[in-house]
């Protein structure tokens, strides 16, 4: 059922390799996942999942998932021990080569697979700005960062031009996994086939070039920019890279890591021009008949170190941050909560008050713009002089709670908790965290041997 114009394009693109490409669509799509390192070590996760996973040779802490069953009800998934991610989609973050303490932007971030993969590599240090233009998708993105217990992220809800104005020359590494025509997902998501057209390919290419232009402004001198798509079209891939290089002489292509090179094919040589040959040499393509998963394109750029820095508007930065210190009432409620839960205040960032409640922001987050959907770890609100904790507080900082209800994956109370039911508990009265295999899952309030359930209603299982 693949569109004939698409097939003709791929035959021209692949030549004698085209029959192998076509045959791949009769095979099941590969599945993968990456560990949630804020919750669990990848070795521990692999031991828990057993024969269902096999390590990938190209991405650290990432696995092929060999089981065909669903994972939505798996308690380890609920606890953020892993994130399901298509294997080829892991490659752009590998190309970005993130290091702890860096400032990283994921410009087109929803639903969050690459953002949570970036967070793994930051290891809780530095800052991740995960941006999503579509508000409804920002909700999903923020929810996945919460589930995975990421503590050093800000979720912004803005277009690329706005992000560029807020963060000029700010980031060490920027990922642009651009909205595209989705040709690389036809095997995994057949619905994408009905949306495909050559007109849409051209429209996507035009939009991608605008996004890349703005993304370039956020990269610091000497910083890195990775452009990726999940499509095969030359217009959206190689020709867009050529367009970008022609407009931005302060950027040059760089070789991708060997682990990525080993599972991908060279980019398509669109012409005999020297710059086109350079793109064909450095950019990479993943195909379903040769790669670890579905279709993917990626190109890595580096910005020249002698690029002049823009003038920073310090007043604008101060005005954009709408945080304030806690009031005396909030401060007392916060300290009372920590004392009751047995948490050392020094283990957590300093709480700050926003319009929607109290949040904990890592010190490396210097600017929270007005276009922010979520910031750091939402800790809760103060009502009647008491803290009503947010789910994110348990998910991200549950390891610091002195009171823990530790459940094994086979404990029947675990299913009851995920359904939102009260469960028996022999902990002292007060707030506690529920863990599964050591991973913080959510909160409870213990009263006279019964744990009142504070797992969010929107996350609960129906059966």
Q: What is the pLDDT of residues 51-77, one digit of tens each?
A: 999 999 999 999 999 998 889 889 999
Cα 298 off chain centre by: 17
The order of strands in the sheet holding 377-383 is: 351-354, 357-360, 377-383, 386-389
User: What is the pLDDT, as a whole number, of residue 315?
Assistant: 47
Residues in the chain: 463
Q: Which of 95, 180, 230, 425 is catalytic?
A: 230
d(CA 406, CA 386): 26
Query: What is this structure's pTM?
Result: 0.95
User: What is the pLDDT, as a whole number, of residue 319?
Assistant: 42
- Residue 260 exposure: Cα atoms within 13 Å on the Cβ side: 26
d(CA 181, CA 335): 51
d(CA 269, CA 222): 27
Do the Cβ atoms of 100 and 122 come closer than 8 Å?
yes
User: What is the pLDDT, as a whole number, of residue 410?
Assistant: 87
| H or E segment and range at residue 340 | helix 328-341
What DSSP string describes 199-256? Answer: HHHHHHHHHHHHHHHHHHTTEEEEEEEEEEES---TTTTHHHHHHHHHH-TTEEEEPP
Q: What do you get for the CA distance between the two ends of the chain, in Å?
A: 36
Phi, psi of 191 (to 5 degrees): -60, -25
d(CA 243, CA 3): 27
**Angle between helical axes of 113-122 and 135-147 (0-180°, round to 10):** 40
Sequence-ordered list of residues with C-beta below 8 angstroms from that of 66, at least 6 positions apart, any chain: 31, 51, 52, 53, 54
Question: Which of 443, 349, 328, 348 minimizes the C-alpha distance to 391?
Answer: 443
Q: Is 230 a catalytic residue?
A: yes
Secondary structure class of 156 (helix, strand, coil): strand
User: What is the pLDDT, as a whole number, of residue 292?
Assistant: 85
**CB neighbours (10 Å) of residue 137?**
17
Rounded to 5 degrees, what angle do the CA atoms 182, 113, 253 make? 70
Q: Which residue has the tokens 């706005």?
A: 162
Question: Which of 190, 198, 171 minimizes the C-alpha distance to 9?
Answer: 198
Cα 139 off chain centre by: 13
Do the Cβ atoms of 316 and 170 come closer than 8 Å?
no
Strands 357-360 and 296-303 turn out to be: unpaired
356-399, pLDDT tens digit by residue? 899 998 777 766 777 888 889 999 999 999 999 999 999 999 99
What sign results for the dihedral spanned by CA atoms 362, 364, 368, 372? negative
Block means of pLDDT (10 residues each) for the chain, 463 residues, are 94 96 93 97 96 95 93 93 97 98 97 98 95 95 97 94 93 97 93 93 98 97 98 98 97 97 95 95 96 94 90 51 84 96 92 90 74 89 96 97 93 95 94 96 96 96 83
Do the Cβ atoms of 86 and 32 come closer than 8 Å?
yes
Secondary structure class of 268 (helix, strand, coil): coil
d(CA 49, CA 427): 29
Residue 50 — left, alpha, or beta (φ > 0 → left; ψ -120 to 50 → alpha)?
left
User: What is the pLDDT, as a whole number, of residue 374?
Assistant: 84
Longest pairwise C-alpha distance within the chain:
77
């Amino acid at each position: 059922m693949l569109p004939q114009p698409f097939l003709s394009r791929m035959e021209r693109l692949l030549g004698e390799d085209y029959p192998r490409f076509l045959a791949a669509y009769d095979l099941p799509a590969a599945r993968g996942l990456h560990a949630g390192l804020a919750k669990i070590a990848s070795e521990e996760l692999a031991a828990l999942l057993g024969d269902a996973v096999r390590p990938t040779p190209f991405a650290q802490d990432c696995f092929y998932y060999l089981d065909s069953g669903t994972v939505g009800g798996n308690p380890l998934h609920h606890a953020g021990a892993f994130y399901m991610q298509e294997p080829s989609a892991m490659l752009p973050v590998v190309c970005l080569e993130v290091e702890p303490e860096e400032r990283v932007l994921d410009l087109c971030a929803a639903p969050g697979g690459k953002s949570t993969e970036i967070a793994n590599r930051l290891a809780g240090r530095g800052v991740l700005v995960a941006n999503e233009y579509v508000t409804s998708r920002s909700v999903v993105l923020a929810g996945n960062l919460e589930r995975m217990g990421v503590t050093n992220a800000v979720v912004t809800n803005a277009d690329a031009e706005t992000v560029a104005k807020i963060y000029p020359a700010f980031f060490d590494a920027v990922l642009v996994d651009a909205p595209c025509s989705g040709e690389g997902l036809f095997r995994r998501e057949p619905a994408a086939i009905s949306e495909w057209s050559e007109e849409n390919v051209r429209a996507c290419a035009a939009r991608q070039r605008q996004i890349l232009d703005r993304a370039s402004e956020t990269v610091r001198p000497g910083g890195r920019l990775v452009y990726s798509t999940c499509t095969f079209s030359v217009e959206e891939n190689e020709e867009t890279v050529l367009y970008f290089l022609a407009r931005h002489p302060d950027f040059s292509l760089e070789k991708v890591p060997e682990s990525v090179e080993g599972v991908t094919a060279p980019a398509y040589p669109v012409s005999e021009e020297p710059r086109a040959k350079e793109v064909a040499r450095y950019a990479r393509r993943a195909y379903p008949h040769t790669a670890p998963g579905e279709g993917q394109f990626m190109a890595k750029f580096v910005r020249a170190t002698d690029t002049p820095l823009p003038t920073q508007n310090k007043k604008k930065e101060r005005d954009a941050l709408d945080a304030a210190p806690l009031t005396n009432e909030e401060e007392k409620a916060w300290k009372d909560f920590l004392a009751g839960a047995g948490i050392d205040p020094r283990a957590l960032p300093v709480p700050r008050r926003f319009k929607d409640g109290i949040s904990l922001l890592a010190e490396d987050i210097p600017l929270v713009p007005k276009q922010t959907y979520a910031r750091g770890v939402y800790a809760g609100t103060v009502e009647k002089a008491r803290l009503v904790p947010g789910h994110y507080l348990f998910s991200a900082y549950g390891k610091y709670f002195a009171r823990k209800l530790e459940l094994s994956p086979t404990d029947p109370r675990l299913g009851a908790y995920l359904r939102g039911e009260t469960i028996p508990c022999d902990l002292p009265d007060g707030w506690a965290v529920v863990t599964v295999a050591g991973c913080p899952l959510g909160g409870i309030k213990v009263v006279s041997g019964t744990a009142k359930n504070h797992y969010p209603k929107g996350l609960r299982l129906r059966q």
